[in-house]
């Protein structure tokens, strides 16, 4: 049973590693969601600005105003480009942490299976020992009864 205690300690250690990996993944997931939300908001602003620009083109709007809209769109496009890069970095970091989390789950499952096998083996040995003792007792009783 001493081996089982060693595996229990290893299991606790692996579970702590899994929890740490799970926390790291959750943090990266939140960062990804924040970056994706920022990108979404920028895209929404761009869409609204383009709609205003097209409405301005249909109506008679001063050229200065159209120029300002165009500059605003250029600024939003640059911000969108930076946001897309940030989203990609956040996605990659999140996927990396997800991979580590998956590996940690696998390690925990491996140790759990090993521990279960060790426990079953210990139980089987205990049952065999009990059966041997019962056989010895039965033989002694038979010999004691047969000797009368």
pLDDT in tens, 112-121: 999 999 889 9
**What whole-number distance in Å separates Cα of residue 52 and Cα of residue 66?**
10
Q: Which domains does the chain have, with CATH numbers?
A: 1-147 (1.10.287)
> Do the Cβ atoms of 17 and 107 come closer than 8 Å?
yes
DSSP per-residue string spanning 92-104 = HHHHHHHHHHHHH
**What whole-number distance in Å separates Cα of residue 8 and Cα of residue 115?**
7
**Apex CA 84: angle with CA 20 and CA 48, to 5°?**
125
3, pLDDT greater than 80: no
Q: Considering the entire predicted model, what is its pTM?
A: 0.74
Place of tokens 């692996």: 14
Q: What is the pLDDT of residues 18-38, one digit of tens each?
A: 999 999 999 999 999 999 999
């Amino acid at each position: 049973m001493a081996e089982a205690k060693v595996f229990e300690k290893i299991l606790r250690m692996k579970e702590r590693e899994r929890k740490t990996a799970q926390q790291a993944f959750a943090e990266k997931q939140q960062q990804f969601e924040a970056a994706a939300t920022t990108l979404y908001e920028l895209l929404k602003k761009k869409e609204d600005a383009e709609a205003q620009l097209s409405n301005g083109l249909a109506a008679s709007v001063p050229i200065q105003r159209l120029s300002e809209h165009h500059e605003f769109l250029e600024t939003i496009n640059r911000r969108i480009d930076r946001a897309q890069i940030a989203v990609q970095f956040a996605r990659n970091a999140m996927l990396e942490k997800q991979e580590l989390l998956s590996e940690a789950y696998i390690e925990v499952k491996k140790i759990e299976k090993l521990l279960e096998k060790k426990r079953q083996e210990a139980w089987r040995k205990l049952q065999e020992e009990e059966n041997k003792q019962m056989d010895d007792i039965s033989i002694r009783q038979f010999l004691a009864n047969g000797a009368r």
